[in-house]
Structure formats: structure tokens, C-alpha cells
A and B are shown apart, each in its own frame.
Chain A
Amino acid sequence: MTEFEPNIIAFVCNWCTYTAADLAGTSRQSYPKNMRLVRVMCTGMVDSQYIIKAFMEGADGVLVSGCHPGDCHYINGNYKARRRMKMLKEILPLFGFEPQRLRLTWIGASDGIQFAETMRELTEQVRVLGPSQAKSGMVL
């Protein structure tokens, strides 16, 4: 049996986590291919519908990653993102989505190593959870 390869969609802020991903790349830090990065201008623009859409399309995990508190280039986008994540973390588990499939991290622009580590660890965690229920079944 081939090992389950999770698909993880990561919404990453242009000013920090995306830059960290770039840095990880240039400094030859490897991280799993399971991540699909979606570059956004700020985590504050990640509406819940993007995250829900990713899950409906069969994503096994979704990560939102932005600037550390106090570092958001739009002052408070990351605080708003955190409230929205809290909201989804209350709703999605009601319908059987494990809360660990939905993650929020702060990864600064210079944290290339931390970025690669987080991606590796997250992929393993989702691999252990197995495929998301939206993957196999029909979604209306």
C-alpha cells in the first residue's frame, strides 16, 4: 500500500510567511511537496469562504500563516484572521472535521528554518489523521 499523501493548502502572507518560504528555498531547506502555497497580501484578507472552499475541494488540511502579533503590515489583519479561525474551529468540527486539520501560525520573514520545520511537522500530523471526509465522499 502506498502511503497516504495529504494535500494541504496554505494561505501565506506576502510579507512574512511567504518570504520565509522563499528563504527556506534559497537556503536549501527542504519541505514536503504536500503544501500548496497561496500567497495573500495579509492573513486579514483570508475570508472563511476560502478555507471552506479548500476543504470542500478535498484539502486534507488548511494552514493560514501570517506575521507575528504586532508585525502585521496592515496593523491588525492577523488579529482579525485569528478571530475568523476561531470561528471556523467552532463550526467545522460540528460536522466531523478534526480541528487539527485547520491551523494558524505566525512565521516571520526571517524564519526560513521554522517555516520548513512547521511544514514537515504539519504534513506528518495530517498524514496521521488520514484523508479528509470530503475527499472520498460526495460533497453537495
Chain B
Amino acid sequence: MAITAKINVKDNDISAAIREFFISVLDTEDVSAILIPQHLPMKKMLMPTLVTDPQKLETADPLAPCFPMNAARLVSRLTRKPIGGKILVVLRPCEIRAFYELVKLNQGTMDELIIAGVDCLGAYKNSDYLRFLKQHGDKATEIFYQNALNGKTEITEGIDISPACKSCENPIPEGADILIGLLGADISNHLMIQAQSPKGEAVLKRLNLSEAEEPSSRKEAVSALISKRSSYRDEIFLKTHEATDTLDKLNNYLANCVNCYNCRVACPVCYCKECVFVTDVFNHEPYQYIKWAKRKGMIKMPADTVFYHLTRMAHISAACVGCGQCSNACPNDIPLAELFRMVAWQTQKAFDYTAGKSLDEKPPLSVFREDEFQEIVGIK
């Protein structure tokens, strides 16, 4: 049975309580390093940091409503080869799911890894977060959580959590070894902490935490959040579908795209070392562009924009975890996350697959069955 314990909260400072918990974990010396989001001395921006000295966890803030990138990629770098010690990584639920996808694609391993996750109430996009932080200073995270737990995520006018987060129906870090629960807990007093695997249990056992029951109102709070998110998601799907259901409309949706490919760099599951779109394959002969232009009198440059996005959908929509980093990275504010999630929903349903859910489910394009999809063969 999973161990459930609590960590005490003093002066309503849940960030401090969480920080102390991770300090105590690193103090046990069973863990050689922690990857955790932390405010840098510069601009106080939140960035993933790799910490080996417990005293250097002073500005760790895993509850801040921001994740500047999907850290699954960093974890993949850290676990590519054995390092001879355990690393604990503090990830958002969508980062855990993305990492699961990467593990299944042989881009990372779980062997020396302990994953901790917190109930996720959403995140602002990077630029919005910096504004929010400026306005609220050291209290920013606390103000966010107090409000968000009551359903209010737009605290400063015009700054709300991203559409990807608003429509995310997986806010609980189910794939984590250690779950830190806020939903349903009396957070002025304590947070819930739960081991979800033998690895997590081993960590918690070493810490002499006071055992506790799961808060009685947790289940209800979780399902309320999920149902709110799911209905927002369905709305977004309808709107996005309406806005893209012909090629003309899709052109319109992507009209601001400058082919910078930031969205695929930011995408945690777009894992190719070299994307074909940045190779010489797409460095067409100059006369080729003229030929293309002549066909209809003009082409948009750079070319291959819709081609690129459709290809990305074909390649990775089955692995899309809906983290929204594609939108976060786009310099031209194209609502990519909405589009990719809509497509991902469709393709994952077709293969009866949920990205990031389980390490045992094989990625759809890596396997096949001899007797499947007969209905798409033939021309009848």
C-alpha cells in the first residue's frame, strides 16, 4: 500500500514547506542531485537547476506558475548514460508524460531516476510570468496558488494560464514516484505527500515523516478540476476545428509562421537529432522556387510552412502530451498547442493510445499487428 504522509506548512508558505522537503531529501545523501526549478539571481527568472548542495535550494520554487521549457528533454540528457548515483527530478505532470514518451523512444532511462511531481494548477507563458513576477515579487507563487486553488487563475488582468494548461485534463502527476498533493488538503496547515512506487516509498521511509490519511476531500477536488479542464478542452477542440477544417483555413491559422522551427525545438517529443526540415533537403535549388512561384504566380517565402506543420503532426501527434510549449515558444503567437492537441486527440484515439500514460504501452508508430486496420486497405 502506498505511503501517505504530510508535510507541515508554516505561515501559509507552501513553497517554503516544499523547499524544506527537498532539502531534507538531498540531506539524506542517498540522492546525489536534484533537478528543480529555481529563481536565478538574474532577473529572478525561473529555470531548471541541477543542485547538489542542499544550501543551494534557497530559491527553489516548483510551484511557480511557469515552466520555461519542458524539462523532459533535460532529464533525457541527464539519464542518457548511467552516472552511478540517484537523481531526483521535480517535474510537472506534462513533463513526466513527455519523459515517459522519451524513455519509450530510447531517449532516456528510469534506472537512476526518482521523479517527484506536484498537483499542477497551470502555468503562464514565459513573458506573462515575468510580468506577473514583477508585479507580485516574492509573494507571486503564494498569491497564484491561493487563488488558483479557488479556481481563479487570472489574477493580474490579462494574464491567465495558457490555453494548454486550461484544457489539460491530466493535472495530477500520476507517473511520479513521489506525489505532492495540494488539492483537497488544508494547505494552511499541511500538504499531502504520497509514494506512488517502491522507489518513492524508499525515499519517504528514510525521512521519518508523520503518516497521514489522504485528505477526504481530495478525490472530489481532483475530479472537479478535471471536469472543468475537460469541458474547456472540448470547447477549444470545437473552436480549433471550426478554424482549420479546410486548407484555406489552416493557411489562415498558420499565416504568421516564419518557419523559425522554434515550436519543434521546444517540443519535448520532437526528438530527432536533426530535423529533416533544417537539412539540405529543404535547401531547394534557387530555380526550383521560381518554378513553384510560376505555377500560381506567387508563393510565400519561406516555403513549406503547412508542409512542415502537417509533417510534425504525422510524426509526433501520437506522442503529444499537450504541454503547450510549442505555443510558448512561438514568436508570432500562433495557437499551436490547441491545434496539436486537437490532432493528437484524434490520432491517439485511433491507435487507442494515451501519450505519457504508461511505459508499457508501445508508441503507435513503433509497432504493428498483422490483422489490424484492414478497412483502410483497398479502394472500395
A: residues with CB less than 8 A from B are: 48-49, 52-53, 56, 58, 69-70, 76, 79-80, 82-92, 94-97, 103-106, 118, 121-122, 125, 133-134, 137-140
Contacts and interface: CB of A to CB of B under 8 A. Distances in A.
A76 B368 contact: yes
Given A103-B379, A137-B248, A52 B257 contact: no
Contacts of B248: 133, 137
The 8 residue pairs across chains A and B that have the minimum distance between CB atoms: A48-B314, A96-B246, A79-B368, A140-B305, A133-B247, A49-B311, A90-B350, A52-B310
A49 B314 contact: yes
Interface in B238-270: 241, 244-251, 254-255, 257
Contact of B245 (A86, A95, A118): A95
- Give the bracket for the number of chain B residues in contact with chain A: 35 or more
A79 B373 CA distance: 10
A91 B317 contact: yes
B223 interface: no
Given A56-B310, A91-B347, 18 more contacts: A52-B307, A52-B311, A52-B314, A56-B304, A56-B307, A85-B373, A87-B314, A87-B351, A87-B365, A91-B343, A91-B346, A95-B246, A97-B247, A106-B377, A138-B251, A139-B251, A140-B255, A140-B300
A134 B305 CA distance: 13
B2 interface: no
A113 to B, nearest CB: 15
Nearest to B347: A90
Given A137-B247, A140-B300, A89 B306 contact: no
A123 to B, nearest CB: 10
Given A48-B315, A49-B314, A104-B376, A94 B251 contact: no
A12 to B, nearest CB: 14
Contacts of A76: 368
B379 to A, nearest CB: 5
Contacts of A85: 373, 376
A79 B313 contact: no
A106 B376 CA distance: 11
Contacts of A49: 276, 307, 311, 314
B332 to A, nearest CB: 13
Interface in B361-378: 364-365, 368-370, 372-373, 376-378
Nearest to B246: A96
Nearest to B259: A140
Interface in B308-352: 310-311, 313-315, 317-318, 342-343, 346-347, 350-351
A134 B292 CA distance: 13
Contacts of B299: 138
B296 interface: yes
15 contacts: A56-B307, A58-B295, A70-B370, A79-B370, A82-B373, A82-B376, A84-B314, A84-B365, A86-B351, A91-B317, A94-B241, A94-B346, A104-B377, A133-B247, A138-B296
Contact of A82 (B241, B304, B347, B377): B377
B136 to A, nearest CB: 40
Nearest to A80: B368
Contact of A96 (B247, B257, B314, B370): B247
Query: Of residues A103, A134, A139, which shows the largest number of chain B Cβ atoms within 10 Å of its Cβ?
Result: A139
A105 B377 contact: yes
